[in-house]
Amino acid sequence: AVVSTQSTGEHYKDRDDFLEKRVVNYTKRVKKFGPAEGNEKPINQITEYYARDSSLAADDDIAELTFLLNEEKMFLKHHLQDERIISSTHEYLKPVQSEDKGQVQITLDMVSSFQVERQAKSPKLIHIYNTIVNLMGREEGCVETVRASEQEVRDILEGRMQEELTTELSVSIYDTARNDTAKKRREE
């Protein structure tokens, strides 16, 4: 993991889901009056980069998935098709959940798409609904994974600090200037 004050990056190899890299960008904490609520940095954006899965069509294979948590948006960028210079993209707005049943309402204006193929049909509302619900679940899982990774980094750093605090150096028996027993024997 690559960690800085404003971002964190994790690189992966040979995963089954073809995930290659995850980059998390943080926002500054808003100072509030009162007791502190947790030690977590607020996440602004999470971007995941995926390798090409040759078993899927390029328009079905995700290349880049971005969650903008503050703006309540999700971006999908697909891999390039053969002999194309631009890829298909989709932008989804997160729906507001209704208070009574926890259901989400989806309309066509919550989606903005660019399809490379002119003949591609626009997706039906049920497909959009399933995609948004799937992406919202992925976002939640991604945030949990990021928080677990942050905790792992904190645990490693805390362990390193404990190691540095409890270090005891041993003096060589050949260092007669600092070794007390060697000094005593020499004086006798």
Kindly state the percentage of the chain with pLDDT values over 90. Answer: 43
pLDDT tens per residue, range 98-153: 665 666 777 888 888 888 887 777 778 888 889 998 999 999 999 999 999 989 98
The predicted pLDDT at position 180 comes to 75
The predicted pLDDT at position 74 comes to 95
Q: What angle do CA 27, 33, 39 make, to 5 degrees?
A: 45
β-strand 62-68 against 43-50: which pairing, if any? antiparallel
Rounded CA gap, 71 and 98, in Å? Answer: 19
The Cα-based distances of 116 to 12, 77, 78, 181 in angstroms read 29, 12, 10, 81
The predicted pLDDT at position 1 comes to 63
Give residue 3's pLDDT band: very low, low, confident or very high (50, 70, 90).
low
CA 105 to chain centre: 27
Q: What is the pTM of this model?
A: 0.79
- Tell whether the model's pLDDT for residue 47 goes beyond 90: yes
Residue 165 in contact with residue 158, Cβ under 8 Å?
Answer: no
